Structure 1
Amino acid sequence: MKKKNSHENLILEYAYLSDLYGDAIETGNHKKANKAYDELMAVYQQIKAQGALTSDAFHELLSAPSMGTRLWAATHYLVISHEESKKVLTALGEVSNSLLAVSAKMTLDEWKKGNLIL
């Protein structure tokens, strides 16, 4: 069995934490969401520092089954490909009865205004 390298392990952790975050937001568990967010941002900084945002493994997160993972991956991928990210965020923003959809819309609005620091 092939051993995963460091950035692949970080991306797996990112996927797990972003999914956990999404589930917590949708169920109204803000304490769990805040904890997942803090851990997710720490993992994101490591991925970014390793230059792994441009990896195929990170790119695949844009089509992950989890809305939370797609939301965060598309947000963080805006600096790599804003067109591709906007498509993902726009699609997420069209999901009815979802707090993550609201977040996707807000993310796009803030990106267009130049207010996001990624």
Structure 2
Amino acid sequence: MDKSLILKKFIESAIKNGEAVEKGESKKANKEFDLLQKYYLQLKESESINILSPLLESNNKYVQLWSSYYLLSIETKRSEIILEELSQIRGLISITAKITLKEWKKGTLRFPGN
């Protein structure tokens, strides 16, 4: 799949995942999470994870959440700052951001393909 198409699909899945989480639709949220993992692996295999970098500045908090998650190992400081900011937002996104940071700092955060 073309990298620009992967990026577009990543954005769509990040948004859909967030919407599903907010609505309590766990099956849909899990489906979109699985797709995010798939897109991450495709980018990793082509050594193109950095294509997610502009998404850190997205207006959508879920796009920021998932791009910062996958960029933690290569854009650590920026990703940590965004996750810290997201952890201050009301709602479930703050819990995800807090847990992500906690596991990252403990060294127990797992990524697909590692």
Q: Work out the CA distance in 1 between the residues paired with 2:80 and 2:46.
A: 24
TM-score, with structure 2 as normaliser:
0.92
> Counterpart of 2:4?
8
Q: Using the alignment, how far apart are the partners of 2:35 and 2:50 within structure 1?
A: 21
Partner of 2:73: 79
Normalised TM-score (structure 1): 0.89
Distance 2:29 2:9 in 1: 15
Q: Could you list the runs of 5+ residues in structure 2 that have no partner in the other structure?
A: none
1:8 is matched by which residue type in structure 2? S
Q: Match of 2:105? A: 112
Where does 1:1-118 land on structure 2 (aligned, <5 Å)?
6-55=2-51, 58-96=52-90, 98-118=91-111
Amino acid at match of 2:42: Q
Q: Please, what is the CA RMSD of the aligned residues?
A: 1.2
How many angstroms does 1:92 deviate by? 0.4
**Long gaps (5+) in structure 1:** none
After the TM superposition, which segments of 4 or more aligned residues of structure 1 sit over 2 Å from their partners? Answer: none
| Residue identity matched to 2:27 | K
1:111 partner amino acid: W
Larger Rg: 1
Work out the number of aligned pairs and report it.
111
The alpha carbon displacement at 1:34 in A equals 0.8
Whole-Å Cα distance in 1 between the matches of residues 60 and 27 of structure 2?
20
